[in-house]
Structure 1
């Protein structure tokens, strides 16, 4: 995914354990996951992009969903495997996203695709659409803003690269990648004074 992403992966890799233990699932994410579970129904299969420390996956499973954990950072994959969870080392830009069990019912990418370069996001979203059944649900969250940049904060000591998005541009990219986008929720407050965008979309009935 390029030099910037390589540096970001290394930053997470060095502090994977500290990052995984930093927080619990926020009330906002919990509400989003409860809504996702209600929409998909018990037993639905979800591809998680960027499982990190695994907190979201645990809640999804508690809500009755079956989760395929994946992450691009080796440290997170190792951590989750040590905890007894299956987890795949996976780069959504280039690696095989498919499952032998067929298309997924949903994709959960919470605060992970914000590290994907702007020009690569349409490719990633099209690849995700290609392994999701028609009508399946995509949930993503990214940081709100313009351009891109590096940031150092929290438990990750080395800089990470972020791509910032505005609502209209994000919705356009998602809609052009095989998803029927709904209006983006914007201005959601984060913990570092930043704001976030959240989007839920459905896999188009006819692939593009």
Structure 2
């Protein structure tokens, strides 16, 4: 059977995890958004989907939150465990997310989710949040989907999304956008924090 785009993308991350961790250490590309989440949810438990090297989880824990770190790439799991962190293997498309959580963090991940899986994934996130819980997500702005070759020479599946498309999908899942941040350059990142309604979906 042909590997899914998600599985092929994970294979690429397996090969470059060490370099990725080194290149992103201390940069805090979306550190402002992570700080915003910590201010909105000053206490409680956060589920991080796609922790990677774990730098964002470190920031949230430094702010006093408890973080369940998860990833699908074994190389990232191994890197974090070597740092003494607990990390669960989790596939957001096929696995249950558990909960309820006070917040869910999903940065640089949703871009690798195929359009057909977007609604089910957001539905899982909503179900995993307690009423009033917050969801912080980032996507590259744009339209269309396909394969992109990174500087490493490895291929990654990316699904770009417009702001309206993402906000509509969040609302359909019962997640009300409460804060957005847009990078100024064309094709930059859109970061959204959305709140699960008290009555659920």
Once residues 52 and 59 of structure 2 are traced to their aligned partners in structure 1, the CA distance between those partners, rounded to angstroms, is 14
Q: TM-score of the superposition, structure 1-length normalised?
A: 0.89
In the alignment of these two chains, the number of paired residues is 199
SS in 1 for 2:135: strand
Distance 1:73 1:27, change over 3 A: closer
For residues 161-196 of structure 1, the C-alpha deviation after alignment (integer angstroms, 9 at most, x for no partner) is: 10000000100001101211236433444xxx7411
Matched, 1:33 2:29: no
**Which structure 2 residues correspond to residues 20-169 of structure 1 after superposition, within 5 A?**
20-26=21-27, 29-41=30-42, 43-99=43-99, 103-154=100-151, 156-169=152-165
Secondary structure at the residue paired with 1:51?
Answer: coil
CA contact (8 A) 2:150 2:156 kept: no
Give the superposition deviation at 1:32.
Answer: 1.4
Q: Per the alignment, do residues 10 and 28 of structure 1 end up closer, same or farther by CA in structure 2, a change over 3 Å counting?
A: closer
TM, length-normalised to structure 2: 0.92
Alignment check: 8 A CA contact 2:183 2:190 kept: yes
CA distance in 2, matches of 1:97, 1:5: 18
SS at match of 2:97: coil
CA-based RMSD of the aligned residues comes to 1.7
Deviation at 1:125, TM superposition (A): 0.9
Give the superposition deviation at 1:45.
0.7
Match of 2:79, SS state, is: helix
Change (3 A) 1:197 1:125: same
Q: State the 1:25 CA deviation.
A: 4.5
Distance 1:177 1:168 in 2: 14
> Which structure 1 residue ranges, 5 or more long, are not aligned?
none
Q: 1:180 to 1:68 in 2, by over 3 A?
A: same
Residue 112 of structure 1 and its aligned partner are, at CA, apart by 0.9
Show structure 2 runs of 5+ residues with no match.
none
